[in-house]
Structure 1
């Protein structure tokens, strides 16, 4: 004979596994019913792990960042880049941008031996962050007058004196500490020389990818990456040669993905100087553009990177010459009322 199952007993049995005290003894009737109609204990599932919106957003960003990093040589170059690139090379042939006098390649003394030259390249670039080139130049010359060798800076120059010598550069307190610590590491680990690779240089405090790749290139004549500064970042984003982003390091990754490796050693030199002239020496770069082999293309390039050649030309008295080169109509003559 079948025994009808009591809904109440079933509920009681199920409920017990979750809420009842496991040390309590069940009533006899309920035991008998449970023996005849055994039930499977219900084990509660653990609540799902909550993920905050911020964590989800961070995870998405991380995945996107990891997935979007192209490898060197993996992308097709932008259309027409060679014509623009060669034009910038031509415009930079006079070597009159600020970095030509006060950049890390121009500042080191050449009579200090190879180690001394490389050490001064390192110092010039450590000083350069958040600092105008002419201030770096003044500071380097003051250090050279003091005696810019690793032995003199490490052994004979207290932190207070070094801080005073470099006091005009941005973040000089931090840079004083980084320079002193770098000297210690170089003497202990590299026999007073600088590391040979960008990867090793980035182990020194105060040295990021941009500095490391430039030091590697200028000091050793080798290159494993491109040093991208804010001028290059701004120009290449405006030209749409790289995706729009806030960070020069993102621009570096995307630039390396398509720029031929033979251009890597000089791209910083040409484009940083060009960017400096566009922002700081407008009349000069405009005049050079008018006088170059391709004035129409040069003036259009200036427009693409934020310099209005007609407006600047009017200021300098070259407005009609600029309009003619751009194949625009001359400015109408002003009429005076009698």
Structure 2
């Protein structure tokens, strides 16, 4: 039989054993190819791979690396290096990743890149911002007339108190559920429509989805809110004896009710303030004032609770939500109230810091002289 064909540059050497001639080029063949060649030559094929590995290990030639027949080391750290005069067969070994030390505060199983869980801020543990009391008192003064949209179409003003406490509390919850992503005027209109049909937990429970969805169609995300209202009515009847849950933690178990809504409902319905309800407008304003440094309303809530006295928790939402509405939507009225306040210069500086262009709006409403007189 003719020998294997190979290029002249191939290094050759053979080891005789059991009548089998083995050269370096064989090490690059697959077992199937080797068996075919051996059968063609009439040679035995059993144990081909193990025999060749043993023979190649003892070959005296230049180092040859084979992806098919390279001898595997007995352990990951064992790299076979032969003595001088013999072939050194190096087998790539998988490096063992160094053991990563666990960072304190990180839970086992968390990915290394994940941020550690935020530590809850306990009430009264943060240092209050400078001059916050003066600013807060000024806003309370500017809000004394209670003339913002939230004062007429908010969760505190809309419910029907004359129908009893249970119905009143359910209507408080309903008004807050309707309020997200919806202007107060639309919430007020929708609440009055529902009240015209009898806004009780029993009626909401018995009203079919399509009908209820039609009644609240003007509010934002009315499809989801219809579902949440139906599911909440079911839970209230079956788990809370027909009355809304008695505290914020229980309220948050209702579909569609988050911390902001739960704390506001708890405050209005039960006259209890276990937390501060913070919406996106409050979140923006308090960051503008540097009272907090936060990325979400929930972080703003936690930071406020960290320094704001508890006797302010119940009133902060309606005072500051209404104040923000007037700064954005009722600019002329706000400018007039600032000029007439006990601290006009500070009041105008405050609304300017919160985004109201005092000079532009004063000119627009013919209040330039009034503003200049107090600046």
TM bin (shorter chain): 0.7 to 0.9
Task: Summarize deviations over 1:139-191 as a string: whole Å, max 9, x none.
Answer: 00000001001111112x11111001000000001111110110000000000
Separation of aligned partners in 1, 2:127 and 2:341? 29
Shift of 1:42: 3.3
Separation of aligned partners in 2, 1:276 and 1:49? 57
Indicate if the aligned counterparts of 2:348 and 2:358 stay in contact, CA closer than 8 A: yes
Separation of aligned partners in 1, 2:195 and 2:302? 35
* Match in the other structure for 2:371: 322
Count of residues in correspondence between the two structures? 287
1:204 to 250, 254, 257: 254
User: Which structure is higher in RCO with an 8 Å CA cutoff and minimum separation 6?
Assistant: 1
Shift of 1:254: 1.0
1:261 to 285, 310, 327: 310
Q: Are 1:293 and 2:342 an aligned pair?
A: yes
Partner of 2:75, secondary structure, is coil
Task: Summarize deviations over 1:95-154 as a string: whole Å, max 9, x none.
Answer: 000000000000000111111000000100000010000000000000000100111111
* Match in the other structure for 2:144: 93
Partner of 2:267, secondary structure, is helix
Q: Are 1:43 and 2:95 an aligned pair?
A: no
2:125 to 44, 49, 74: 74
Q: Which has the higher helix share?
A: 1
* Match in the other structure for 2:115: 62
Structure 2 residue runs without a partner (length 5+): 1-47, 59-72, 78-93, 101-109
Separation of aligned partners in 2, 1:22 and 1:251? 69
Shift of 1:303: 1.1
1:217 to 256, 261, 267: 267
* Match in the other structure for 1:12: none
Shift of 1:26: 6.5
Indicate if the aligned counterparts of 1:310 and 1:323 stay in contact, CA closer than 8 A: no
Counterpart mapping for 1:151-166 below 5 A:
151-155=202-206, 157-166=207-216
Cα pair distance change 1:23/1:207, threshold 3 Å: farther
Shift of 1:66: 1.4
Q: Are 1:135 and 2:168 an aligned pair?
A: no
TM-score when normalising by structure 2: 0.72
Task: Summarize deviations over 1:25-77 as a string: whole Å, max 9, x none.
Answer: 979xx9xxxxxxxxx953356643999xxxxx9855532x515x422211010
Partner of 2:123, secondary structure, is coil
- CA RMSD in angstroms, aligned pairs only: 2.5
* Match in the other structure for 1:33: none
Separation of aligned partners in 2, 1:23 and 1:138? 87
Shift of 1:231: 1.4
Separation of aligned partners in 1, 2:349 and 2:277? 26
Shift of 1:311: 1.6
